[in-house]
Amino acid sequence: MQFYRHGLSSADAKGIAEVLDTPFLTSGAVGKKVEAQIAEFFGQPYALLVNSWTNGALAVLLALDLKPGDEVIIPAQTFIATANMVELIGAKPVFADVDPHTLLLTPEGAARAVTPRTRACIPVHMYGLMCDMAGLRAALPAHVTLIEDCAHCFEGTRDGAPPGKHAEVAIFSFYATKNVTCGEGGAIILKDEKLFSALQQTRLHGMSAIAADRFKSGQYRHWDMARLGVKANLPDLLAALLPNQIATIRERLPARTALVERYRAELANLPIRLQQLPDNCVSAHHLFPIHVKPATRDAAIAALNAAGIPVTVNYRSVPTLTYYREKYGYTPASFPVSHEWGEGEITLPLWPGMPDEDQTKIIETLKATVVPLCG
Ligand SMILES: *Cc1c(COP(=O)(O)O)cnc(C)c1O
């Protein structure tokens, strides 16, 4: 049984073959077309491709001129990348606990974490469910930059609004298991022209022109470096895998939704907790998490694995991982909701095209071996 399988096929190889016929394999015309497609998809003035969410976030934090001592509010329940890039530039991730039902950062939770040093906040759309972005924008001071972590949510909406609507910046991941993927990659959408100009530089060493533009006229042009940047540009070889996936992503959501609805119907009324999905949200259903009593979680994983079912854990609470715990002195009691969820969470296989009989086997194994453990 597979935990996940991408939906790319030989049809997608055509785009790569076309890039192989061009002189430069790195960022160029294909990426620019995909950036225009992404900007249009989200109704945003600007989109920039990057080689990962992680490097995209680094480029954004550098473009915002975040400094040591600045604080960034981050949900305790997320993947480590969200906090790590803040830490890497020397700023301080200030964790906030999440809602016990939705597992999302709330406007109230974010507002409580604000101090005079708060510069930004990075809400995370966990498992595909969007945070209350309008509420977060209203709850935070206007000078606090909202950066959406959309690694789990490309095609989801809340109150009909897609990612990027209420935030200054939104960052996507096209990592191997994400709903839109090119193996490794990502994108940033934004509204502000000044921040866009800064990002064009911080995405590529702080240089004033990318290679394709430097060679365009046939005459060598000098470049300058006015600020510090990273190497975060996406090569056209990978960008070529994106246009068809983006054009069809909304058509593929019903397959994920149907799998999730079957899981939820079969697992209702068992001693298993599920993420609550508010009616005003369309989840991108990136992952399907369940939660069992923490004391039984590892035995439950062993029972699933013994039946040939691959699972993952998304995520153990970030502040309780060794680095953050030792540096900042957090305990499980610091962010109890995130900690409890992270100690009992199990992510089940979910991907469009997943065979029905795989899902049947997962549900039957849960009922036969995991539920008795939880009793
Ligand atoms: C995958 C993921 C990231 C990191 O994405 P990369 O493209 O691998 O850097 C960040 N945040 C969340 C919530 C993720 O799941």
Residue with tokens 């700023």: 91
Q: Evaluate: CB of 56 within 6 angstroms of ligand 1.
A: no
Round to whole Å and give the CA distance between 341 and 322: 18
Residue with tokens 């079912």: 309
Query: Of 310, 11, 10, 20, which Cα lies nearest the Cα of 177?
Result: 310
> Does 256 score more than 70 pLDDT?
yes
Contact 4, 177 (CB under 8 A): yes
Contact 110, 96 (CB under 8 A): yes
Round to whole Å and give the CA distance between 259 and 174: 22
Give me the pLDDT at residue 206, please.
Answer: 93
pLDDT band at 374 (very low <50, low <70, confident <90, very high): confident
What confidence tens digit (pLDDT) does each residue in 172-189 have? 999 999 999 999 999 999
The per-residue pLDDT of the chain, averaged, comes to: 96
> What is the DSSP code string of 250-277?
HHHHHHHHHHHHHHHHHHTTSS-EE---
What confidence tens digit (pLDDT) does each residue in 73-117 have? 999 999 999 999 999 999 999 999 999 999 999 999 999 999 999
Which residue minimizes the CA distance to atom 8 of ligand 1?
A: 175
> Does 217 score more than 80 pLDDT?
no
Range 261-282 average pLDDT = 97
DSSP-derived 3-state class of residue 108: helix
Q: Are strands 118-121 and 145-149 parallel, antiparallel or unpaired?
A: parallel
> Does 215 score more than 70 pLDDT?
no
> Does 359 score more than 70 pLDDT?
yes
Round to whole Å and give the CA distance between 256 and 148: 22
Range 278-302 average pLDDT = 97
Q: Evaluate: CB of 149 within 6 angstroms of ligand 1.
A: yes
Say how far residue 191 (Cα) sits from the centre of its chain: 19
The CA 314 to ligand 1 mean position distance, Å, reads 11
Q: Evaluate: CB of 285 within 6 angstroms of ligand 1.
A: no
Range 263-289 average pLDDT = 97
Round to whole Å and give the CA distance between 353 and 146: 35
Index of the ligand 1 atom closest to the CA of residue 55: 9
Round to whole Å and give the CA distance between 232 and 52: 7
Query: Of 283, 249, 258, 288, which Cα lies nearest the Cα of 42?
Result: 249
Residue 305: CB atoms within 10 Å: 11
Which residue minimizes the CA distance to atom 5 of ligand 1?
A: 53
- Per-residue tokens: 181: 């993927």
Range 330-347 average pLDDT = 98
Give me the pLDDT at residue 370, please.
Answer: 87
Range 209-238 average pLDDT = 84
Range 207-221 average pLDDT = 73
Index of the ligand 1 atom closest to the CA of residue 126: 13
Instruction: Indicate the top mutation candidate among 79, 147, 150, 242 to test ligand 1's pocket, ranked by most ligand atoms within 8 A of CB.
Output: 79
What confidence tens digit (pLDDT) does each residue in 2-11 have? 999 998 988 8
- Per-residue tokens: 4: 């996940």
Index of the ligand 1 atom closest to the CA of residue 174: 7
CA dihedral 97, 101, 105, 110 (to 10 degrees): -70
Which residue minimizes the CA distance to atom 6 of ligand 1?
A: 53
> Does 340 score more than 70 pLDDT?
yes
Phi, psi of 322 (to 5 degrees): -45, -50
Round to whole Å and give the CA distance between 130 and 81: 18
Give me the pLDDT at residue 154, please.
Answer: 98
Q: Of the listed 32, 67, 92, 178, which one is catalytic? A: 178
Q: Is the peptide bond before 315 cis (omega within 30 degrees of 0)?
A: yes
Round to whole Å and give the CA distance between 185 and 55: 9
Q: Evaluate: CB of 314 within 6 angstroms of ligand 1.
A: no
Residue 178 annotated to the active site: yes
pTM: 0.97
> What is the DSSP code string of 293-341?
-GGGHHHHHHHHHHTT---B-----GGGSHHHHHHH---TTTSHHHHHH
The CA 374 to ligand 1 mean position distance, Å, reads 31
What confidence tens digit (pLDDT) does each residue in 226-246 have? 899 999 999 999 999 999 999
Round to whole Å and give the CA distance between 43 and 24: 30
Q: Strand order in 345-348's β-sheet?
A: 273-274, 288-291, 345-348
Index of the ligand 1 atom closest to the CA of residue 173: 7
Range 124-139 average pLDDT = 98
Give me the pLDDT at residue 210, please.
Answer: 63
DSSP-derived 3-state class of residue 295: helix
Range 140-154 average pLDDT = 98
Classify residue 193 as exposed, middle or buried by CB count within 10 Å of its CB (0-12, 13-18, 19+). exposed
> Does 214 score more than 70 pLDDT?
no
Round to whole Å and give the CA distance between 267 and 271: 9
Minimum mean pLDDT range among 5-19, 73-87, 266-280: 5-19
